[in-house]
Amino acid sequence: MTSRKTLAAVAAVAAIAAGGAQAQFQERTFRVSNGVSKEHPMGNGLAKMGACTLQKSGNKMKIQPYWDGSLGNDLTATQQVRTGSLEMVLTSTAPLTSIIPALGVFDLPFLFNNEKEADQVLDGKVGEWFSAKLPAVGAVNLAWWENGFRHTTNSKRPITRLEDFDGVKMRVMQNNIFLDTFKTLGSNAVPMAFSEVYSALETKTVDGQENPFNNIENMKFYEVQKYLTLTKHAYSPTLVLFSKKTWDTLSPQEQATLKECAVVGREEQRRVNREQADKSVANLRSKGMQVNEIAPAEMQRIREKSKVIYERHGKAIGEEAMNLVFDDLKRIRGQ
């Protein structure tokens, strides 16, 4: 026969558990800064992530995207995340190498051959090793999303060989490795925040820029760029950074929900990013861009020319980061 006291204790525990589950989620809205506009596949990812957090939190945890760099560019929005004045930012890794030099490994030219390699490195132990560096600078990386493989556009000429880079004033991200890479290829590289690129191209302040297809389309660069060359010269990951100051105020269940839903968002964002990218060449051609590939032998010359970047920046990136990524790639490639 169960004593009244025991029954009362069981009832109390059950009530706490039920109440606890609800109390685990506070009514909150997390703002997330994006440099691109809402039609970009980042929007698809955030829609999925937000639906997931609402469903898991009983409609208490909301994700509120802000677009077109309205809350700042990659670096300035990341600084706000670090101070806790902004909850989240989707940012490329490249502009953050001044904060975490090891991230520079992802800017090395021709590092990844395809998305499969990138996913395996980023979603595995190596990606975790890089993510583990973020809390020390005031951020938590919830997941690795995708900016994508980068191609080159300009308004002067089709780039069909190494020498065609000569003298092209090329906007690059605020990142020493991209700056050095495009200088080494012969262009006059100019670092610039993403939000300034369209007007710089329109006013011919710069002749060209390089970005994944979806960004070229999303930012309508085709309106101010005649030539698109499929260089596929680098793969840019995207960090889903959450402010550690805010993170530390969350319950374990709120934290777990954000991480789980960031992964749900990641699958959708990568899927749409790749689906869109597959259609981009035809779309950009239809918008009037002249698209060209570079002949394999000529591409080899460009790859050879850019190899020096690995030697020149290996020290700044750090031996451990370089070896972790290269060893993982050897494993993935069965080398």
Helix ranges (DSSP H) in the chain: 4-23, 41-56, 74-83, 115-122, 125-131, 176-184, 197-202, 213-218, 244-247, 252-286, 296-306, 308-317, 319-332
CA–CA distance, 319 with 324 (Å, rounded to integer)? 8
Beta bridge partners of 169: 188
- Cβ proximity to ligand TK8: between 78 and 131 the closer is 78
Beta bridge partners of 161: none
Q: Does 215 bind ligand TK8 (CB under 6 A)?
A: yes
Tell me which of 53, 236, 273, 306 binds ligand TK8, using CB under 6 A. Answer: 236
Q: Does 235 bind ligand TK8 (CB under 6 A)?
A: no
CA–CA distance, 289 with 287 (Å, rounded to integer)? 6
C-alpha dist (Å) from residue 260 to 138, 195, 254: 20, 30, 10
Least distance CB 254 / ligand TK8 (angstroms): 26
Least distance CB 283 / ligand TK8 (angstroms): 18
Q: Does 147 bind ligand TK8 (CB under 6 A)?
A: yes
The encoded tokens of residue 36 equal: 């691109």
Count interface residues toward ligand TK8 (CB under 6 A): 11
- Cβ proximity to ligand TK8: between 194 and 247 the closer is 194
- Cβ proximity to ligand TK8: between 216 and 264 the closer is 216
Q: Does 149 bind ligand TK8 (CB under 6 A)?
A: no
Q: Does 72 bind ligand TK8 (CB under 6 A)?
A: no
Contact mark string toward ligand TK8, 160..179, x via CB under 6 A: -------------x------
Q: What is the dihedral of CA 92, 139, 255, 59, to 10 degrees?
A: -60
Q: Does 221 bind ligand TK8 (CB under 6 A)?
A: no
With CB atoms as reference, the residue minimizing the distance to ligand TK8 is 35
> Is 59 strand, coil or helix?
coil
CA–CA distance, 154 with 216 (Å, rounded to integer)? 11
Tell which positions 178-207 bind ligand TK8, by CB under 6 A: 194
Tell me which of 176, 211, 231, 280 binds ligand TK8, using CB under 6 A. Answer: 211
Give a three-class secondary structure readout of 153-175: EECCCCCCCHHHHCCCEEEECCC
Amino acid at 262: A
The encoded tokens of residue 294 equal: 């570079």
Q: Does 67 bind ligand TK8 (CB under 6 A)?
A: no
Tell me which of 30, 31, 36, 44 binds ligand TK8, using CB under 6 A. Answer: 36
- Cβ proximity to ligand TK8: between 161 and 183 the closer is 183
Tell me which of 44, 52, 74, 302 binds ligand TK8, using CB under 6 A. Answer: 74
Tell me which of 32, 35, 153, 169 binds ligand TK8, using CB under 6 A. Answer: 35
- Cβ proximity to ligand TK8: between 53 and 91 the closer is 91
Q: Does 92 bind ligand TK8 (CB under 6 A)?
A: yes
- Cβ proximity to ligand TK8: between 25 and 213 the closer is 213
Q: Locate tokens 């290829």: which residue? A: 185
CA–CA distance, 78 with 242 (Å, rounded to integer)? 9
Residue ranges in contact with ligand TK8 by CB under 6 A: 35-36, 74, 91-92, 147, 173, 194, 211, 215, 236
